[in-house]
Structure 1
């Protein structure tokens, strides 16, 4: 199925996908008050990775990730890698489904069974996936103003409430650059910035091919600045010690907001951002899994939507509790993710250069 969306929708998709649920947490907190610097470093490295992704896309502008694997590694090896990557996309989607269940029951709806919460959000994502990438782009376009307005309100309320203390960011680089680099790599690079690899699946569906690079770079730069700012804002309010101990730091920040003795308990804003952010991640990764599997196997897109949805939902119950879920995410997932986000794209980049060089050499030999 070949559906298309425009460059404006691509920009919104990149922004909302990278934001996701990221600002709700204090990522890079092992670097303490330098967590925002760690995020800045990871964002810069993520931009370099995007250069690689766009270079690969330009070799076959209408191809998806599965077709790129076949082009670079051959039909059988490339097809196998594509299937594995499709399963990885499904796994990443599953992790977000489980995050919805765990975070919602922990912080918001403590008496609601997790399986119902996870089923509902995955059912909506499955319906979106069944309609394809064009509908996904339109849905995210509708959600975009809500996300922007919500974060704008959050930022205004935090500043007007007098909670911001910039001295919480001091001293800068107290322990040198190493804690920053350890926090940035691989964890912060893998999540969220290197997740841009999913757009190798989606770039081929953009109708205005000539604008893809420009739109992608500016969108990623803009959202990176926003994420660094939100990271620093949470630190300015909570400080590194409290931010490290809080499951949802942004929720805790809003619970501290008191304006004119009547505006308080703004949990609903965080709830809205949590569900929108995680839904976008779930649906995008779900569609990427289906599209990549379809390209690898030759099966129709629609025939794969339901089986992959069942796989995602069933896998979301494999982890017995939230502690195990977090351990898998931090100690296992983030060590495997660079294989798909960094290693394979770099190998494709080198293989493609060699293929082009060998083809040019062969043409030159034939010409003589």
Structure 2
């Protein structure tokens, strides 16, 4: 039943845009490159587009297959099945990290006296309900949320510019210390998050009804959202400068707190909070559903029967890290060293195996014809 659920090319475009945006603009990623953080983001975006070329090449070999089936197609039933299960667990782990982010950031910036476990349970319950309805409903929900995200960011950008907070000279001098700080900021951190997370769409491409449009829609959507993320990165730098942006937990929240117009328009924290919840919810739900789909493909178990067990696993795992400092350390120092296995290593291996199979089939065909 779940395999029959499909969504259109425009919903795919919106899903890519909202998923990649997520909570990314709220933070100043690549800040180790200081005022060149936006250049690091641009470099990582270009590399991420190359990764997407690899993902789409793999997808075209079996257009109706999910990532679990693609692993089995390339590596065989047992090795491929094992790799798919490990990847599914990793997707659950990524979803868990976003659940914990919701709990920590909400109690830190908004609801100081609300227990984290309550906040995390609520956001995961909504994601679990969405997951139970399947990928088609996920696409429709994100389609409904898209205008809210679009308008909110447009409002924030407009008000920041009208408030006279933007100082372009904060981006100078460019490449003061050469290209190395930019490259170190871009790889692997910025490539892994957010651009390498496009690998999750190998799970979802098989559910797109208009298969011929997938590549075109994916490329244009990713290019557009990448330019937006680079712009937002530069905007935060122009307002706060590299030093303050580095010290602030939620730089975009700090930016909107500086907005003052006509002595009455201020306190736009609610807009950033809304964007935070939408972005993290989309990440949680998409990764959650992708994990369920992969386990279902490998084991043959019903999709619906896996919703609660995987959701319970995500919720339980969100308590393993004792505090937010440890959570960030795991995410920045450990996770980003492991994730290239799933985003780069295994896809490249699948690409190589597929090329080898193609040439072997061509060689056998030529031998038989002679």
Gaps of 5+ in 2: none
Q: Deviations over 1:81-140 (max 9, x none)?
A: 000000000000000000000111111111110000000000000000000000000000
Q: CA deviation at 1:235?
A: 0.1
Q: Deviations over 1:175-208 (max 9, x none)?
A: 0000000000000000000000000000000000
Does 1:175 pair with 2:177? yes
**1:148, 1:196 → 2: CA distance?**
20
**2:210, 2:127 → 1: CA distance?**
26
- Specify which of 27, 52, 55 is matched with residue 54 of structure 2: 52
Does 1:73 pair with 2:75? yes
SS in 2 for 1:265: coil
Give the equivalent residue in structure 1 for 2:197. 195
SS in 1 for 2:339: helix
SS in 1 for 2:113: coil
Q: CA deviation at 1:245?
A: 0.2
**1:300, 1:336 → 2: CA distance?**
30
Gaps of 5+ in 1: none
Q: CA deviation at 1:53?
A: 0.3
Q: CA deviation at 1:366?
A: 1.3
**1:75, 1:205 → 2: CA distance?**
22
Q: CA deviation at 1:367?
A: 1.4
Give the equivalent residue in structure 2 for 1:119. 121
Q: Deviations over 1:288-319 (max 9, x none)?
A: 00000111111111111110000000000000
- Specify which of 270, 273, 290 is matched with residue 272 of structure 2: 270
Give the equivalent residue in structure 2 for 1:62. 64
**1:71, 1:303 → 2: CA distance?**
25
**1:67, 1:40 → 2: CA distance?**
33
**1:269, 1:113 → 2: CA distance?**
23
Q: Deviations over 1:37-71 (max 9, x none)?
A: 00000000000000000000000000000000000
* Superposition map of 1:1-368 within 5 A: 1-2=2-3, 3-368=5-370
**1:187, 1:37 → 2: CA distance?**
14
**2:308, 2:262 → 1: CA distance?**
51
**2:358, 2:219 → 1: CA distance?**
26
Q: CA deviation at 1:246?
A: 0.1
**1:48, 1:359 → 2: CA distance?**
27
Structural RMSD (CA): 0.4
**1:363, 1:294 → 2: CA distance?**
35
**1:107, 1:247 → 2: CA distance?**
10
Q: Deviations over 1:129-181 (max 9, x none)?
A: 00000000000000000000000000000000000000000000000000000
Q: Deviations over 1:250-287 (max 9, x none)?
A: 00000000000001111100110000000000000000
**2:154, 2:365 → 1: CA distance?**
57
State the TM-score, normalized to the length of structure 1. Answer: 1.00
Aligned length: 368
SS in 2 for 1:8: helix
**2:153, 2:260 → 1: CA distance?**
17
**2:164, 2:38 → 1: CA distance?**
21
**1:335, 1:78 → 2: CA distance?**
22
**2:293, 2:209 → 1: CA distance?**
17
Q: CA deviation at 1:365?
A: 1.1
